[in-house]
Amino acid sequence: MGIADIISLLGGLAFFLFGMSLLGDGLKRVAGGRMETILGRLTSNPIKGVLLGAVVTAAIQSSSATTVMVVGFVNSGIMQLSNAVGIIMGANIGTTATGWILTLAGVKGEGGFSSATVFALIAFVGIILFFFCKKQAKKNVGLILLAFSVLMSGMQSMSAAMDPLKESQAFIDFIGAVSNPALALIFGALFTAVIQSNSAAVGILQALSVTGAVSYGTAIPMILGMGIGACAPVLLSAMGANRDGRRTALIYLYFNVFGSAIMLIPYAVACAMGAPALSAPAAPFGIAIANTVYKLSATLFQLPFTGAMVRVAKLTVPDGPSDGEDEEFEENLLDERFLAYPPLALEQSGKTIQRMASAAVKNLNRSLELFDAFSQEKFDKIQSRENVVDRYEDRLGKYLVRLGGRQLSERESLLSSEYLHCLTNLERISDHAVNLARLAEERHDKDVSFSPEGQADMNRCAEAVREILSLAHTALVSNDFESAARVEPLEEVISSLLERMKLGHIRRLQSGACTLEVGFIFNDYITNLERVAAHCSNIALAVLEVSDSAALQPHTYTKGIRRDDHPEFRRWLAYYQDQYLNET
């Protein structure tokens, strides 16, 4: 084997691995993240889990990638540990699809019309779709066709480059050294752990088989070892996960180890009987069959014992003391593994911002309650919850910035922008809640009383702010366009109400009905509520920006929302004026 053959082999390997990666990316784009999202909403039926895991893995071309996702689901609390077992088993079946696809690389036709000709035609169609179609869906299909052609070209290049190896004494000696079943299994495991892809490892073995030097007696334990080696990237990804996340990765390891052990039994019997098939040269088609039989048998034997596998994993990673997290803070929702799947990452970001919004709303409502009846316990809880909101802002902000570096669709970019915009406003609302709580504490400590008129104004304003906060919260967590459209008219009414309160306060100061000490608290109270209303308005407008409503263009609405001739705005403005400004 000369230097040219080695370069050709390396080039073929590069095309092969790149084609596999590109094919998986293309299939994920076509799926639009739906497959990954469906995984997270799986029912508890293990058979459905096996089927779904097989389909998703066949689509994304990687059992390791599927299992890493599942580790993320369990780590985030989206999926129960018991539900993950079926997905893991199905992922091992789905990964065999690549081996069957690669057998096409060796198909030969008549009259010079071979598989290479077909792949060339597929590549030509793919490049036309990719470069000349304007719709992204067609471009994605073109990318898949191109990736498939690159994958197959790489497979053919590797096979052609490896053909001279059958004349190499060094190669023959190497194959002889690993013909020992134990060594073949270890070699397969180590090789797959290095390249981090079971499908790619099996594909390379298929290419190597064209030399005729690899027997089934050597190929089969290599395939069993490759199943074990595929666990390496999953185990590495679970190092920072919680207990159930680590248990999920261990279940994947146990499944493959037990599956390999199960298949070694008939293999050992065949070796003891001197089965002639084991000494026959392996072929790509036969390797695909052996790999599929191994994965199917492992699943069929272990499927009845999913509960036992979960118990073994829990014994390996036992329950311990509480992690000490704040009961309202769920950092695991933002799993780093989801960054590779933007639809999932955004879905989890949405759940996180909902929890952040609930904490901020609760804080503001509790702080307003302190003006009616101050409680040191409630005051301390507001301070503690503010720390939770700050942690959410820091964690989610960094997460969304990292997600922004990925390739996002237009809709995903808008959603990410909305979350970034809203989390800042939510954090500021919680800050104002703390400010109000401190004002309530100051009023309590100094035993300050407001005049009946001033107290009535404060109660009316608090009621309006509670309503605008509720509307903004509903708009954000439910993507409720109707609630969002009501925020801006109410915000204008609150501004008018606050101006009226300021004038009334000045009159009371001039008449001596209020003291300067009361006035400072009153003014700070008004200022904080005014800013809360403004932040609610910002949140509502951010929701409008990503609204799917065809009946209303958000930009047109936001530009004309304060115009007197806007019917929707006029209707709600009159409603809230009657509710908050016309009371006596």
Name the more confident of 163 and 1: 163
Task: Give the separation between CA 439 and CA 434, rounded to whole angstroms.
Answer: 9
What's the predicted TM-score (pTM) here? 0.63
Helices 452-478 and 342-369 cross at an angle (nearest 10°) of 170
Mean pLDDT of 121-132: 84
Each residue's pLDDT tens digit, 197-233: 788 888 888 888 877 778 888 889 999 998 898 888 8
Predicted pLDDT at 319:
74
Each residue's pLDDT tens digit, 512-539: 666 666 778 888 888 999 999 999 999 9
pLDDT of 343 strictly over 90? no
Task: Give the separation between CA 417 and CA 391, rounded to whole angstroms.
Answer: 19
Q: How confident is the model at residue 154 (pLDDT cuts 50, 70, 90)?
A: confident
Side-chain half-sphere CA neighbours of 212 within 13 A: 5
CA 399 to chain centre: 11
Q: For the stretch 406-434, what's the b/e string if a residue is b when 16 or more beta carbons lie within 10 angstroms of its beta carbon?
A: eebeeebbebbbbbbbbbebbbbbbbbbb
Predicted pLDDT at 465:
92
Report whether 364 contacts 433 (CB < 8 A). Answer: yes
Task: Give the separation between CA 85 and CA 134, rounded to whole angstroms.
Answer: 41
Each residue's pLDDT tens digit, 22-64: 766 666 665 555 555 566 555 557 788 888 888 877 766 667 7
Report whether 115 contacts 311 (CB < 8 A). Answer: no
Predicted pLDDT at 324:
43
Q: What is the residue type of 500?
A: R
Q: How confident is the model at residue 97 (pLDDT cuts 50, 70, 90)?
A: confident
Query: What structural domains does the chain harbor?
Result: 3-316 (no CATH), 342-580 (1.20.58.220)
Predicted pLDDT at 329:
53
Task: Give the separation between CA 426 and CA 420, rounded to whole angstroms.
Answer: 10
Name the more confident of 331 and 65: 65
H helices of 77-195, in order, are: 81-94, 97-102, 115-132, 136-162, 169-177, 181-195
Each residue's pLDDT tens digit, 26-35: 666 655 555 5
Task: Give the separation between CA 552 and CA 548, rounded to whole angstroms.
Answer: 9
